[in-house]
Amino acid sequence: MAQSIHPTAMVHPQAVLGCDVEIGPYCVLEAETTVGDGCRLASHVVIKRGTTLGAQNLVDEGAILGGRPQHVARHDRWGTLVIGAGNMIREHVTIHCAMAPDRCTRVGDDNLIMVNAHVAHDCQVGHHTILTNNVMLAGHVTVGDYAYLSGGVGVHQFCRIGCHAMVGGQAHINQDVPPYVTVDGQSTRVVGLNVIGLRRRGFAPEAIQQLKEAYRIIYRHGLAWNDVLRALQTTFSSGPAADFAAFLAQGQRGFVSERRRPALTVIPLPRVAEHGGAACRKPALRRAG
């Protein structure tokens, strides 16, 4: 099918456009950019030099893809940005190129990147991820397949988010998040497996049970670090649970710790005490057990 380019769009002659591409009003496509078959760019989208989009990407208003890295060092040349196929990139998303000329920021296939999210230089984002509104990925962050980052999550540079992990809103991640776990947004601590997400993605009950066993080895058995890795490698040689050992063995920044529940407290029914003839209710707080 023919391309559809709005008269107000500025497309450099050296930009490469696939078949059935739509370029909306006031878009800017610089030289040395590639837009794959079936892509749809809404108005005011900017595609910077060195950016490649695969097929069937939808990019909404005001997104800027391939901007130069945000860094105090002022480089005359920087790397590239490669975005896979089937992504939905919403309004005002920014994704930057890599720092070095021979490096690449990469986003995989079938991701949803919501309004105002930022993916910094040298990040590696997998497939089928969801980065919700105002997520901020600093430089060199890795996000595994099917990871879900809720609104306002900030991730420190060089951190890794494991596959199928779920990170709660406004968490501030400064260590690696293991695969398959849930991180509470308020405390930025692990609160268990992402069981609901795993079930939705069709994980068998047996696989989820193995993941629970691996989780207990990591967070509940009180083992030394080398013993944790040895136990995981020995017990889970295959299947999803084997991902834990591979992920943990590559850690450089440490890992988000588990949030332990405080001792249970109860508030009993108010006691009625007589003071000067008037009833006074005094709820008492005591620790259970």
Q: Catalytic positions, please?
A: 121-122, 139
> What is the Cα–Cα distance from 210 to 140, expressed in whole angstroms?
31
Q: Strand ranges (DSSP E) for 108-146? A: 112-113, 118-119, 124-125, 130-131, 136-137, 142-143
Helix residue ranges per DSSP H, 41-190: none
d(CA 275, CA 153): 52
Q: For residue 167, which amino acid is it?
A: V
Question: Phi then psi for 118, rounded to 5 degrees?
Answer: -130, 130
Q: Which of 105, 120, 252, 259 is nearest to 175 (CA)?
A: 252
Give CA–CA dist 12/76, Å, rounded.
21
| Angstrom distance (rounded) from CA 147 to CA 108 | 12
